[in-house]
Each structure stands twice: as C-alpha cells, then as structure tokens.
Amino acid sequence: MDTILTTVLTRLAAEQVEEISAEKFDEIMRQHQRRVYRVIFLLVRDRDAADNLTQECFLRAYLKRATFRGECRIETWLLRIAVNLTRDHGKSRRVSFWKRLVGLEQGEEGGAEPRQYPAPGLSAEHTLLVREELAAVWNALSSLSPQQRTIFFLRYEEEMSLAQIASLLDLAVGSVKSQLARATGKLREMKEKQWK
C-alpha cells in the first residue's frame, strides 16, 4: 500500500515539474504576455519600461517555475511577479528622481508623464480620446499610494474580483476594499471638479 502511494506521489510530483517545460512555458508566455504587459504598462505608464519589466517577469517565472506548485492560477502567479516588479521599479525610479534632483544623475524631463502610445487598429480621434481619458484617470490617482493604484487598475481595468486581488497582493479582502474606496473617492472628486 505504502509502495503504491509513494509511486503515485512521485509520479504526481514529476508531472508537476514536467508541467512547465520549455515548450509549455512558451505557450504560457503566448497566452499571458499581453495581460502582463498591459498591467505593467498601466502601473508604470511607460512603454519601454513595461516591455522590459514584462521580459523580466517571464524570465523570473521561468527560473522559478519549479517553485510553482499550482496553489493559485498561473495567471495570478505571473501577475504577482509583475506587480512586485513594478513596485521595485517605482522604488528605483524614486531613487533616480532624488539623484536627478541633487545632480547625481542626468535624466529625461517629465518622466512621470505618460508617453505617446499609438494604438494600432484605432482611429486617430479614438486614440486621442482614449489617451486623454486615461491620462485624466492617471492624474486623479497620482496622489494615491502605488498599492491603491494597483488595486484600482486590477479591479476596474482587469476586472478582477476583490478576492482575486487580495490573493494576488497577499492582503485581506477588507484591506483591499478600504484601499479601493479611497481610490474611487479620489476619482469621484476629480470628476466632480470637472463637471463643475
């Protein structure tokens, strides 16, 4: 009985490791790269940085694929890596800002502003409208903490449930709700100012 159980468990463990082979990983990348890139782009507001961080996200996922044991969906796992990377990126950008301020580093002006993003398949007018609307949302949320912005975008742009967000960010659902309420409140204030 013990031998059978050991054999089954060994086979299951081997299957789990085999699940993310190189071929399988390429398939995973094809499936999720757009979403990972989109989430990163909405959080860092920079296309080049988003591209670089997406690559970094998949690199880390590949190197740590043996640690993925299927406790959550693979998409949640990838987005967790992506969100952590954007957080680290934000920290290094803040350091870079202070370095620029004290003259230790030369940098581009207006790094916090969203860059131009011509969206293929959309008319020029529609692209302009989308850009303006998103810029307004970004500006309204700029005074929030990175985590509150992350929660906001995951909820309303990625349409994730509160429980999914809580699992992804390793937070309690109550904490997610209160941070989301602050974010929606900021956006409402901004809209009310616009309407006045």
Q: Which stretch binds other proteins (CB under 8 A): 8-16, 83-91, 103-111, 175-183?
A: 175-183
Q: Which stretch binds other proteins (CB under 8 A): 13-21, 30-38, 71-79, 102-110?
A: 30-38
Q: Are 117 and 131 in contact, with CB atoms under 8 Å apart?
A: yes
Which residue in 20, 42, 81, 168 binds other proteins (CB under 8 A)? 42
Binding residue count for other proteins, defined by CB under 8 A: 46
The yes or no reply on residue 91 touching other proteins (CB under 8 A) is no
Tell me the C-alpha distance between 91 and 105, whole Å.
16
Question: One-letter amino acid identity for 98?
Answer: W
Angle at 11 between CA 7 and CA 15, to 5 degrees: 170
- Shortest distance in whole angstroms from residue 107 CB to other proteins: 24
The yes or no reply on residue 11 touching other proteins (CB under 8 A) is no
Q: 190: which 2 tokens?
A: 């901004």
Residues 113-172 that bind other proteins (CB under 8 A): 117, 119-122, 126-127, 130-131, 133-134, 137, 153, 156-159
Per residue, the 3-state secondary structure of 3-69, as one string, reads HHHHHHHHHHHHHHHHHCCHHHHHHHHHHHHHHHHHHHHHHHCCHHHHHHHHHHHHHHHHHCHHHCC
112 closest CA partner among 146, 158, 85, 83: 146
Residue 166's alpha-carbon distances to 38, 129, 132, 176, 192, in angstroms, are 19, 32, 30, 6, 29
Which residue in 51, 88, 105, 113 binds other proteins (CB under 8 A)? 51
Which residue in 7, 10, 16, 55 binds other proteins (CB under 8 A)? 55
Q: Would you say 50 or 167 has its CB closer to other proteins? A: 50
Contact positions vs other proteins (CB under 8 A):
26, 29-30, 33-34, 37-38, 41-42, 50-51, 54-56, 58-59, 62-63, 117, 119-122, 126-127, 130-131, 133-134, 137, 153, 156-159, 173-174, 177-178, 180-181, 184-185, 187-188, 191
